[in-house]
Structure 1
Amino acid sequence: MSYEYKVVPAPVRGLKAKGVKTPEDRFAYALESAINELAADGWEYLRTDTLPAEQREGLMSKTTVFQNMLVFRRVVGTVAAEEPAQLPPPSPPTPRVEAPTLTKPAPTPERPSPDVAAE
């Protein structure tokens, strides 16, 4: 079974919602919403990674920042694509029926009448 992967940035700020009061709860709600949104499209949450990334700071300098990324995966194709399709057995070939050819009967030679032959 093979997978395809999708990596998206983790939310950096919480979302407001009814009944969600503390900053921790709002952040958890934002993370939950991001995971559920992708899960609705068939993506399975796999893990969160923190990766370094260089960013420009000013004109000449660079600095390293760490990005939190959400990793998702889903199965490539479907089960039907992995198993060979069951095709119906081939039907036997239809026999060719040719129309009979009509031929004219050969002309029968005329027999001389007995009276003419006696002469």
Structure 2
Amino acid sequence: MTSFEYTAIPAPSRGEKAKEAKTPTDRYALALTAELNRMAADGWEYLRSDVLPSEERSGLTGRATVYHNLLIFRRAVVAATDTVKPQKPAVAAPPVAEAAKERPAPRSGIRPASAETQGAAKAISNDEK
């Protein structure tokens, strides 16, 4: 079964100027064609255009209903299970119990201080006096 993803973009509100487009209708058609071709280059298929209402603020407290022209596009989504098949590892990992036995035991006690850290400790203690 094929599944799709959808996107909606606002339709152009103005036409584009061009030599071959003399009338406003021709200019608008040119702008719409450019938008459709741009989306098609990205793999989107034009589905339909819709006019949908949107309630927006008008002034400080008022609300007005505004209608937006939207272009609806879709493209097929490839399921992840179809393209990527899990592969078995070439080398099996050792069982957890064996891995715990192979690990060295942690050292107990405090590590002896190196000559550098002993010198730094003496310098700090001399500053405090």
Q: Say yes or no: TM over 0.5.
A: yes
Q: Flag structure 1 segments of 5+ consecutive residues without an equivalent.
A: 88-119
Query: What is aligned with 1:33?
Result: 34
Q: What is the CA-CA distance between 1:54 and the residue it aligns to? A: 1.0
Q: Which has the larger radius of gyration?
A: 1
Q: Flag structure 2 segments of 5+ consecutive residues without an equivalent.
A: 88-129
Runs of 4+ in 1 over 3 A off after TM superposition: 80-85
- Structure with higher helix content: 2
Query: What is aligned with 1:82?
Result: 82
Render the CA deviation track for 1:8-58: whole Å, top value 9, x for unaligned: 000011011221110001011111110000000100000000000011111
Identity across the alignment (%): 53
Please list, as runs of the form range in 1=range in 2, the aligned pairs for 1:86-97 lying within 5 A after superposition: none
Render the CA deviation track for 1:54-84: whole Å, top value 9, x for unaligned: 1111111010010000000000027x96378
Equivalent residues, number = 85
Query: What is aligned with 1:65?
Result: 66
* TM norm structure 1: 0.65
* TM norm structure 2: 0.60
> How large is the RMSD of aligned CA atoms in angstroms?
2.0
CA distance in structure 1 between the aligned counterparts of 2:60 and 2:33, rounded to whole angstroms: 38
